[in-house]
């Protein structure tokens, strides 16, 4: 039986990376927290709606 495997890479858009590099400490913290929250939500959705465990 065929087995399908996928790899996901979660990274912010280039413009956010530039903002992170040029921003102050508070800006970097906000971007990092928002990115972590977005990754967590995406993974939760994948686990709930897409992933299938046998």
Q: Which pLDDT belongs to residue 54?
A: 64
| Better pLDDT: 21 or 49 | 21
Q: Which pLDDT belongs to residue 1?
A: 62
Q: Determine, yes or no, domain membership for 43.
A: yes
Q: CA angle, corner 35, sides to 44 and 50, nearest 5?
A: 25
What pTM did the predictor assign? 0.77
Q: Determine, yes or no, domain membership for 7.
A: no
Q: Determine, yes or no, domain membership for 39.
A: yes
Structural domain tally of the chain? 1
Q: Determine, yes or no, domain membership for 3.
A: no
Q: Which pLDDT belongs to residue 50?
A: 81
Q: Which domain holds residue 26?
A: 14-50
Rounded CA separation 9/6 (Å) = 10
Residue 27: how many other CB atoms lie within 10 Å: 13
pLDDT digits (tens, 9 = 90+) for 3-39: 677 788 999 999 999 999 999 999 999 999 999 999 9
**The dihedral of CA 9, 20, 36, 39: what is its sign?**
negative
| Better pLDDT: 54 or 38 | 38
CA 7 to chain centre: 12
Q: Determine, yes or no, domain membership for 24.
A: yes
Q: Tokens standing for 43?
A: 């993974």
């Amino acid at each position: 039986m065929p087995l399908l495997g996928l790899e996901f890479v979660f990274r912010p858009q280039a413009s956010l990376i530039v903002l992170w590099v040029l921003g102050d400490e508070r800006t970097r913290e906000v971007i990092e927290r928002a990115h972590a929250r977005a990754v967590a939500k995406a993974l939760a959705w994948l686990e709930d709606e897409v992933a299938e465990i046998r």
